[in-house]
C-alpha cells in the first residue's frame, strides 16, 4: 500500500521520471527484501519473497551454495516452495540434506515428494534423526521404501530423547542395535523407563558414566534402579557419583548415596581428601551448609569422621569466583589461612581467574598475612598481568597493603606473548610513576613520555614473543615506547619463521638496524614461510 501510494505521487509529478537516483533511493527504502536471503526466505516459508528475491538476485551459474535453498525449504516442511524451486532452473538443486533434515523434523510429505521427484536421496542420518526426534511414521516409511538404512545412533539417540515407541519398533524390525551409550544417554536425561527397557529387554550393560551422569543430573530413581541391578559397579563408582552430586548441588542424591554406599565407596579421591573442598570449588554453599550441619553424623571415612575443609577450599573457591563460599567458610570458621604462602596462593588463584571481588575480600580479611610479603614480591602482580586483568593490577597498586608489590620481566614477556597492549601500557606507566612516587597515569596523551631508563623488565624477549605469536599492535607499541628491546635480530627472524609477513614488513621499515635479511631468509626457509620468503628474496 505504501509503495503504491509513493509511486502514484511520483508518477504524477512532472520531471520525477527523469530523476533515476530518486527512484532508486525510494525503491531501496521501501523494499524490505534487501535484508533477506533466499535461504532464509525459503526456511521461513515466505513463497512470495522467495520469488521476488529470485527475480532480483543476479543470475549466476549453479554453484554448491545455490543448493541450500531447496535444502532449507525441505528442512522446514514448505512443500509449495520446494516444488516451485524444483521448477526454477537457477534454483533447482539440492543435496542429501534436504531429505535428511525433512526426516529429522518429521515432514513425511516432503520426504515422499523428494523420493518421487529427486535423485539426491538421503543418508543414514535420515532414519537416525527421525528416530531421535520420535517420528516413527517417517522411520517406518524410510525402512519400507528406501535402502539407506540407519546406524546404531538411531537407537542411541532415541534412548537419549525418551522415545520408547521408536526403540521398540527398531528393536523388532532393524538389526543395527545400539551401543553402551544408549543406557548412558537415557540415564543422563533421567529416562528411567528407557533405562529399564534397555537393561531388561535388550540386556544392555550399564556403564560407570551412566551412574555418574545420573548423579550429576539429580536422577535419584535412575540411580536406585542401577544400584539394585548393578551393585558391584555401583559401589566401585561411588566416589565419582558423590563428586558429581556435590559439584552440581544435588543434595537429595548426596544424602541417598551416603545412606546406601559402604564407607569405602565414600572416600574422596581429591588430593586433600575433603568433600567440603569439592563443594567449595564448585560454589555449592548449600552442600557446604549441609555438611556443616551433619558433620558429626556422617561416617564418610574409615575413622568415622567427615574430613574437614583444608586451605585448598579457599584457593579453589577464589579461583572460581565463589565469594559467597569464601564468606561462609570464614564466618563459620570451617577453615582459616594462617600462613603467608597459603594466603598468596589463594590471592593468585583469584587474580588468575579475574575475580576482583574475591581479590578484595582476601586482602581485606587476611591483611596481616599479605603485609608479611616482601615489598619486592612479584607473584600476584605478575599473575594479573599474565591474565590481562589491568583492573586488578590497578587495585593492587592502589591498595595500601599491596601498593609496594612489583612486576617482573615475566609480566612484560607474557603480556607481549598474548598481545595485551593494554597491560604493556599499564606496566610502562606504572614503573614510571612508582619510581617517582606518583599515582599511575591513565591518560592516552601521556604515552608520549619517554620510558624510564634502566628498567630491567623490558628485554628483547618481549618483542620476540610478540612477533612470534603474530601480535602486530604489541610489536608496534614496543618499538615505539621501548627501543631498548630492538637490539637483536631475533624478533625479525621469528616473524620470518612464523610467516608473519605484516610484522616482518613493519620491523624492516621501522627498526631496520635490528633486521638481518640473510638470517631471516634462513629462518623463513626452515619454517616453510612461503609469503615471507618470497618478500625477503625480493629484498635480497
| Residue 62 confidence (pLDDT) | 47
Q: If 0-12 CB within 10 Å is exposed, 13-18 middle and 19+ buried, where does residue 58 land?
A: exposed
Closest CA to 240 of 220, 228, 257: 257
Chain center to CA of 184: 24
Q: Is residue 74 part of a domain?
A: yes
Q: Is residue 46 part of a domain?
A: yes
Q: Is residue 29 part of a domain?
A: yes
68 pLDDT higher than 90: no
Residue 280 and residue 319 in contact, taking contact as beta carbons nearer than 8 Å: no
DSSP assigned state of 88: S
443: left (phi over 0), alpha (psi -120 to 50) or beta: beta
Mean model confidence pLDDT for the chain: 88
Residue 344 and residue 379 in contact, taking contact as beta carbons nearer than 8 Å: yes
Q: Which residue range forms the structural domain that includes residue 72?
A: 19-55+65-122
Mean pLDDT of the 413-421 span: 98
How far is the CA of 180 from the CAs of 149, 216, 230, in angstroms?
21, 19, 14
Closest CA to 200 of 221, 179, 226: 226
Mean pLDDT of the 76-99 span: 92
Helix ranges, 220-274 (H): 220-229, 231-236, 238-247, 251-260
Q: Please give the tally of structural domains in the chain.
A: 1
Q: Is residue 99 part of a domain?
A: yes
Looking at per-residue confidence, does 158 or 484 come out higher?
A: 158
pLDDT band of residue 447 (cuts 50, 70, 90) is very low
Domain CATH code at residue 34: 1.25.40
| Residue 128 confidence (pLDDT) | 98
- 127: helix, coil or strand? helix
In angstroms, how far apart are the furthest CA atoms of the chain? Answer: 101
Q: Is residue 491 part of a domain?
A: no
433 pLDDT higher than 50: no
**Per-residue pLDDT tens for 497-526?**
999 999 999 999 999 999 999 999 999 999
269 pLDDT higher than 60: yes
**Per-residue pLDDT tens for 282-312?**
999 999 999 988 866 666 655 556 778 899 9
Lookup: cell for 197:
527397557
Q: Is residue 257 part of a domain?
A: no
Task: Give the C-alpha separation, 119 to 127, whole Å.
Answer: 18
Residue 183 and residue 205 in contact, taking contact as beta carbons nearer than 8 Å: yes
Looking up cell 582476601, which residue turns up? 362
Residue 278 neighbours by CB distance under 10 Å? 24
Q: Is residue 81 part of a domain?
A: yes
Q: Is residue 70 part of a domain?
A: yes
Q: At what angle do helices 501-510 and 490-497 cross, to 10 degrees?
A: 150
Q: Which residues are CB-contacts of 308 (< 8 A; sequence separation ≥ 6)?
A: 274, 276, 334, 335
How far is the CA of 231 from the CAs of 227, 246, 300, 365, in angstroms?
5, 21, 19, 47
Please name the helix (run of DSSP H) or strand (run of DSSP E) that holds residue 69, with its range, or none.
helix 68-75
**Per-residue pLDDT tens for 21-56?**
544 554 555 456 667 888 888 888 888 888 888 887
Query: 3-class secondary structure for 385-426?
Result: HHHCCHHHHHHHHHCCCCCCCCCCHHHHHHHHHCCCHHHHHH
Amino acid at each position: 500500500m505504501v509503495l503504491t501510494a509513493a509511486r502514484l505521487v511520483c508518477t504524477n509529478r512532472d520531471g520525477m521520471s527523469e530523476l533515476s537516483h530518486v527512484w532508486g533511493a525510494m525503491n531501496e527504502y521501501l523494499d524490505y527484501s534487501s535484508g533477506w536471503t533466499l535461504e532464509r526466505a525459503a526456511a521461513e516459508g515466505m513463497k512470495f519473497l522467495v520469488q521476488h528475491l529470485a527475480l532480483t538476485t543476479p543470475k549466476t551459474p549453479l554453484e554448491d551454495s545455490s543448493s541450500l535453498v531447496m535444502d532449507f525449504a525441505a528442512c522446514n516442511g514448505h512443500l509449495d516452495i520446494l516444488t516451485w524451486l524444483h521448477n526454477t532452473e537457477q534454483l533447482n538443486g539440492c543435496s542429501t540434506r534436504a531429505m535428511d533434515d525433512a526426516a529429522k523434523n518429521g515432514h513425511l510429505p516432503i520426504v515422499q515428494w523428494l523420493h518421487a521427484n529427486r535423485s539426491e536421496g538421503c543418508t543414514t542420518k535420515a532414519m537416525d534423526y527421525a528416530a531421535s526426534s520420535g517420528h516413527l511414521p517417517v522411520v517406518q516409511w524410510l525402512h519400507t521404501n528406501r535402502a539407506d538404512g540407519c546406524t546404531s545412533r538411531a537407537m542411541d539417540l532415541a534412548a537419549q530423547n525418551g522415545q520408547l515407541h521408536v526403540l521398540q519398533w527398531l528393536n523388532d524390525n532393524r538389526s543395527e542395535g545400539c551401543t553402551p551409550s544408549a543406557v548412558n544417554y537415557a540415564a543422563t536425561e533421567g529416562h528411567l523407563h528407557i533405562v529399564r527397557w534397555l537393561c531388561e529387554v535388550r540386556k544392555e550393560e550399564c556403564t560407570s558414566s551412566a551412574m555418574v551422569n545420573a548423579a550429576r543430573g539429580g536422577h535419584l530413581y535412575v540411580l536406585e534402579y542401577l544400584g539394585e541391578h548393578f551393585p558391584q559397579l555401583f559401589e566401585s563408582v561411588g566416589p565419582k557419583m558423590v563428586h558429581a552430586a556435590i559439584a552440581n548441588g544435588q543434595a537429595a542424591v548426596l544424602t541417598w548415596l551416603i545412606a546406601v554406599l559402604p564407607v569405602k565407596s565414600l572416600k574422596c579421591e581429591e588430593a586433600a581428601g575433603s568433600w567440603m573442598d569439592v563443594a567449595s570449588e564448585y560454589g555449592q554453599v548449600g552442600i557446604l551448609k549441609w555438611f556443616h550441619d551433619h558433620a558429626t553424623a556422617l561416617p564418610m571415612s574409615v575413622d568415622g569422621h567427615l574430613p574437614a575443609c583444608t586451605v585448598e577450599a579457599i584457593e579453589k573457591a577464589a579461583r572460581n569466583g565463589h565469594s559467597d563460599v569464601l564468606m561462609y567458610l570464614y564466618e563459620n570458621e570451617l577453615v582459616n589461612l594462617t600462613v603467608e604462602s597459603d594466603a598468596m596462593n589463594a590471592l593468585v588463584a583469584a587474580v588468575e581467574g579475574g575475580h576482583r571481588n574475591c581479590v578484595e575480600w582476601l586482602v581485606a580479611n587476611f591483611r596481616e598475612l599479605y603485609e608479611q610479603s616482601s615489598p619486592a614480591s612479584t607473584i600476584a602482580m605478575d599473575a594479573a598481568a599474565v591474565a590481562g586483568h589491568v583492573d586488578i593490577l590497578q587495585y593492587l597498586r592502589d591498595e595500601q597493603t599491596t601498593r609496594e608489590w612489583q612486576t617482573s620481566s615475566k609480566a612484560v614477556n607474557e603480556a607481549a606473548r598474548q598481545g595485551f597492549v593494554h597491560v604493556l601500557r599499564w606496566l610502562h606507566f606504572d614503573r614510571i610513576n612508582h619510581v617517582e612516587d606518583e599515582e599511575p597515569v591513565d591518560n592516552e596523551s601521556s604515552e608520549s613520555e619517554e620510558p624510564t631508563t634502566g628498567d630491567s623488565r623490558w628485554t628483547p624477549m618481549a618483542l620476540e614473543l610478540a612477533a612470534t605469536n603474530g601480535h602486530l599492535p604489541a610489536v608496534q607499541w614496543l618499538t615505539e615506547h621501548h627501543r631498548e628491546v630492538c637490539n637483536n635480530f631475533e624478533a625479525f627472524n621469528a616473524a620470518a619463521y612464523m610467516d608473519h609477513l605484516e610484522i616482518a614488513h613493519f620491523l624492516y621499515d621501522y627498526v631496520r638496524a635490528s633486521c638481518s635479511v640473510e638470517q631471516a631468509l634462513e629462518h623463513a626457509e626452515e619454517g616453510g614461510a612461503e609469503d615471507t620468503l618470497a618478500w625477503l628474496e625480493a629484498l635480497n
